[in-house]
Amino acid sequence: MSGAAKPGEFELISRFFAPLCRAEAGAFGLTDDGAVLSHEPGKNTVVTMDCLVAGVHFPESEPPEQIAWRLLAVNLSDLAAMGATPQAYTLALALPHNWDAAWMAAFADGLKQAQDEFSITLIGGDTVATPGPLTLSLTALGRIDAGQELRRNEAKAGDVIYVSGTIGDAALGLKVLKGELDGLDSEHEAFLLDRYHRPRPRVNLGLRLGGIANAAIDISDGLAADLAHLAEASAVACVLEADQVPLSAAAREAIAEDSLNLTLALSGGDDYELLFSAPPSLGAAIKALSEELALPLTPVGKIANDTNAGQVMVRDANGREILLAESGYRHF
């Protein structure tokens, strides 16, 4: 952002945001008091909301395309965790005084890239000035067959715990970005940075987990912390086998350099993979789904058969408990 001349609110909306709502007639080109969405019979609406603050949730200097992508992605990840099909979103932008048209054009372009990738459309929102940091709030709406939402609270004793993709890349990418992790192979470094900057919410996976997963959550706070959320909601205990957690080649290199990076991978946030539990009998179906989606779905532990509801035990390859110093992102 710089201090260059900039448009007023109405021009801002018509120039940068109205083009993002064209796919939804009920957005009225962002010219009315609200948007109107119609519904298909038998479908419910899933509603999620996330707020990101510059300097807290992303570096102040992050390119606007990446900020926009992240903002949509974190909400789409919540829709994915519920098994919903993305439909529409509203966006509130609290803008510091130093934004300019180039910044806004790049931000809108990042929104457009994510909209196109995940088939979701802007339908409304608000733009205001703030003396504080850039603050972005997004409400995402999705469609789901009535009664088919994936919940966190239905994990059953004996379920196998799965994760999608690879774990810890985003937290390691942030460490690279901060200059705290160097000496990696340059392709690995680029891979980790991309995993931090451009999370890929597992929307297609979420849509296929109905009838398979007993419980699901997305990994935003960190694998250990989000598994604890699922365990608490389901009133079950879990065992996480650290040596089974799927790691990228880049993460393996970082861990080979410093074994503390394994702890970071298990507890760091921002992966936006899905974590779910399913009955052991569905192992073959999950393997087939993994192949069909070309997305690793890896068993990493079990829902235990005991009474320590909400407890997560992380074990190493020798069955010894690993105590994680950081147990995920703390919001305060």
Cβ 72 to a second copy, closest distance in Å? 14
**Which residues 113-142 are close enough to bind a second copy by CB under 8 A?**
123-133, 135, 137, 139, 141-142
Q: List, in sequence order, every residue forming a beta bridge with 144; answer none if it has no partner.
A: 44
Pick the binder of a second copy from 1, 71, 72, 88 (CB under 8 A).
88
Rule CB under 8 A: say whether 78 interacts with a second copy: yes
Rounded distance, CA 179 to CA 186, Å? 14
Cβ 39 to a second copy, closest distance in Å? 4
**Which residues 301-320 are close enough to bind a second copy by CB under 8 A?**
none
Rule CB under 8 A: say whether 4 interacts with a second copy: no
Cβ 85 to a second copy, closest distance in Å? 13
Pick the binder of a second copy from 34, 211, 280, 283 (CB under 8 A).
34
Cα-based angle 108, 113, 118 (whole degrees, multiple of 5):
125
Strand pairing class (215-218; 85-95): unpaired
Rule CB under 8 A: say whether 110 interacts with a second copy: no
Strand pairing class (215-218; 274-278): antiparallel
Q: Select from 81-89, 100-108, 177-185, 282-290 the region that touches a second copy (CB under 8 A).
A: 81-89
Rounded distance, CA 171 to CA 94, Å? 27
Rounded distance, CA 321 to CA 281, Å? 27
Rule CB under 8 A: say whether 35 interacts with a second copy: yes
Cβ 320 to a second copy, closest distance in Å? 29
Cα 139–chain centre separation: 14
Cα-based angle 41, 45, 49 (whole degrees, multiple of 5):
170
Rule CB under 8 A: say whether 171 interacts with a second copy: no
Nearest to 200 by CA among 96, 19, 298, 77: 77
Nearer to a second copy, 125 or 222 (CB): 125
Residue for token digits 């996480």?
Answer: 240
Nearest to 122 by CA among 30, 31, 14: 30
- If you write DSSP's letter for every residue of 114-157 in order, what string do you get? HHHHHT-EEEEEEEEE-SSS-EEEEEEEEEEETT----STT--T
Rule CB under 8 A: say whether 224 interacts with a second copy: no
Nearer to a second copy, 181 or 216 (CB): 216
Pick the binder of a second copy from 71, 84, 160, 184 (CB under 8 A).
84
Rule CB under 8 A: say whether 161 interacts with a second copy: no
Residue for token digits 């409400």?
Answer: 139
Q: Select from 88-96, 168-176, 302-310, 320-328 the region that touches a second copy (CB under 8 A).
A: 88-96
Binding site for a second copy (CB under 8 A): 6, 8-9, 12, 26, 28, 31-39, 41, 43-53, 55-57, 78-79, 81-82, 84, 88, 90-95, 123-133, 135, 137, 139, 141-142, 144, 146, 149, 151-153, 217-218, 233, 330-332
